[in-house]
């Protein structure tokens, strides 16, 4: 068994090395790089949102290039059909039967690029598959591979030609990460990198990268699940989620600003992501700060502001911050 060979420290070193390699390619976006690894370790789908040209696609491609798993990219467009994603049954006259032709969703790593540029039907097909880990076509159900990770990108909703994702289905994303603009230093380094890449392309010298075997990923996931979460930390985590459903115990004005709070899927995600963060930091226990570190990315898309609060400029992000400010630390 391959996973028994690797010592815990070595396994963790692999992921730290992966993070460093990705940080060299995706400059000045440490949070994005970190979240890619957290999603991988916590076995969850990632939604990355940001303005055009902020390396969302590049970051996911860079990760895929370093994993020993098949990768597919699907560009979401207004004319995309659910079958373009899932696949279709094709009639084989010579055999007198239908044959299933699997679509791109049957890849272990799927980059769903610009997910909010496809109509609701396609989004639903994707999000259903993400939740159930299976696809039904023509009355037959096909299991999706393991690992199965969807890394989706989207531009901010305000952009033209976008279809907002169905709110209830956003819950299926483990994290919703927002990417901002890099600082001046990082911008200069991006220019340098772009020049180096353009030159390498002219010389036709593609960089050879080491791919992480899936056995290492599964062993790391096992280690993450084995970390210790002390009861007070678990209570804190649960309290954060419960407070999103009933904030009146802390602040009645805040409660009125929340239309709905996070589901149990949110608590599970919060726990798994906090574990992954602790493991990546080389610890064998989870702290309240690990929970706080991932709470915005885990909860922002699961907490919906009320109609009035939205009009006053509140969004999931601000609501999570307000909850973090109010729920007392253990
Ligand atoms: N932080 C960064 N580090 C390295 N390269 C970057 C960074 N930000 C942008 N780039 C470069 O900018 C270009 C655009 O990146 P990319 O296509 O990944 O953007 P995107 O966020 O997916 O944009 P869109 O929303 O338009 O699809 C790429 O060549 C990428 O390498
Ligand atoms: Mg892109």
Q: Residue 253 sits in a domain of what CATH number?
A: 1.10.8.80
The answer to whether 151 and 109 have CB atoms below 8 angstroms apart is yes
- 159: nearest Cα among 60, 80, 49: 49
Q: Is residue 9 exposed (0-12), middle (13-18) or buried (19+ Cβ within 10 Å)?
A: exposed
Same domain, 240 and 128: no
What whole-number distance in Å separates Cα of residue 323 and Cα of residue 247? 8
- Average pLDDT over the chain reads 91
273 and 186, same structural domain?
A: no
Q: What is the position in ligand 1's atom list of the atom closest to the CA of 56?
A: 21
* Whether the predicted pLDDT of 42 surpasses 50: yes
191 and 246 inside one domain: no
Environment of ion ligand 2 (residues, CB < 5 A): 57
Residue 287 CA to ligand 1 center (angstroms) comes to 34
CB 76 within 8 A of CB 116: yes
pLDDT one-digit tens code per residue, 116-136: 888 888 988 898 888 889 998
The set of protein residues with a Cβ atom below 6 angstroms from ligand 1 is 26-29, 50, 52-58, 153, 155, 182, 186, 190, 193-194
Q: Which of 14-28, 193-207, 248-262 has the lowest mean pLDDT?
A: 193-207
Kindly give the distance from the C-alpha atom of residue 30 to the centroid of ligand 2, in angstroms, as a whole number: 18
Count of domains for the chain: 2
- The per-residue pLDDT for range 244-255, each reduced to its tens digit, is 999 999 999 999
**Across the chain, how many H-helices and E-strands are there?**
15, 11
**What is the structure's pLDDT at 311?**
95
Mean pLDDT of the 221-233 span? 96
Most confident stretch, 51-65, 128-142, 299-313: 299-313
Q: Beta partners for 97?
A: 92
Model confidence at 240: pLDDT above 60 = yes
pLDDT value of position 166? 78
At 217 the pLDDT is 95
Where is pLDDT greater, at 196 or 207? 196
Which one has a higher pLDDT value, 260 or 159? 260
pLDDT of residue 14: 93
| Domain match, 198 and 304 both | no
Mean pLDDT computed over 93-115: 91
Give a yes or no: residue 15 inside a domain.
yes
Write out the residue range of the structural domain in which residue 16 sits: 8-202
Is 2 a residue whose pLDDT tops 50?
Answer: no
Same-domain status, 99 and 166:
yes
Question: Do residue 186 and residue 245 come from a single domain?
Answer: no
CA of 154 to the centre of ligand 2 (A): 8
Q: What is the number of the ligand 1 atom nearest to the C-alpha of 26? A: 3
Is the pLDDT assigned to residue 145 strictly greater than 70? yes
Q: Does residue 221 sit within a domain?
A: no
Q: What's the pLDDT score for residue 3?
A: 46
Same domain? 277 vs 234? yes
Q: Which of 34, 55, 64, 201 to mutate to test the pocket of ligand 1 (most atoms within 8 A of CB)?
A: 55
Positive or negative, the CA dihedral 48, 54, 57, 60 is negative
What was the pLDDT predicted at 196?
87
Intra-chain end-to-end CA distance of the chain, in Å: 40
Between 220 and 156, the more confident residue is 220
Q: Would you say residue 55 has pLDDT above 70?
A: yes
Q: Name the pLDDT band for 1 (thresholds 50, 70, 90).
A: very low
Q: Closest residue (by CA) to atom 29 of ligand 1?
A: 194
């Amino acid at each position: 068994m391959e996973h028994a060979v690797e010592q815990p420290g070595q396994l963790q070193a692999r992921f730290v090395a992966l993070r460093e390699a990705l940080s060299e390619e995706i400059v000045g976006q440490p949070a994005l790089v970190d979240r890619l690894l957290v999603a991988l370790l916590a076995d969850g789908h990632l939604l990355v949102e940001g303005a055009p040209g902020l390396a969302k696609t590049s970051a996911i491609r860079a990760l895929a290039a370093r994993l020993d798993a098949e990768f597919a990219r699907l560009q979401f467009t207004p004319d995309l059909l659910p079958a373009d994603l899932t696949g279709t049954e094709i009639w084989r006259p010579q055999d007198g039967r239908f044959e299933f032709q699997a679509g791109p969703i049957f890849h272990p790593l799927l980059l769903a690029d610009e997910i909010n540029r496809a109509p609701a039907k396609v989004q639903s097909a994707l999000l259903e598959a993400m939740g159930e880990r299976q696809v039904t076509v023509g009355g037959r159900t096909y299991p999706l591979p393991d690992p199965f990770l969807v890394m989706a990108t989207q531009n901010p909703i305000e952009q033209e030609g976008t279809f907002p994702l169905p709110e209830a289905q956003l819950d299926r994303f483990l994290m919703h990460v927002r990417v901002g603009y890099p600082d001046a230093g990082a911008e200069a380094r991006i220019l340098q990198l772009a020049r180096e890449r353009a030159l390498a392309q002219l010389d036709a010298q593609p960089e050879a990268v080491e791919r992480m075997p899936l056995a290492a990923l599964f062993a790391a996931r096992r280690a993450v699940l084995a970390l210790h979460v002390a009861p007070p930390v678990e209570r804190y985590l649960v309290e954060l989620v419960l407070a999103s459903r009933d904030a009146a115990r802390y602040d009645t004005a805040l409660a009125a600003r929340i239309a709905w709070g996070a589901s149990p899927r949110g608590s599970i995600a919060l726990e798994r992501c906090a574990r992954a963060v602790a493991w990546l930091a080389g610890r064998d226990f989870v702290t309240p700060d690990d929970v706080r570190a991932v709470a915005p990315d885990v909860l922002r898309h699961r907490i919906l502001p009320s109609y009035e609060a939205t009009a006053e400029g509140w969004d999931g992000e601000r609501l999570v911050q307000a909850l973090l400010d109010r729920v007392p630390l253990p």
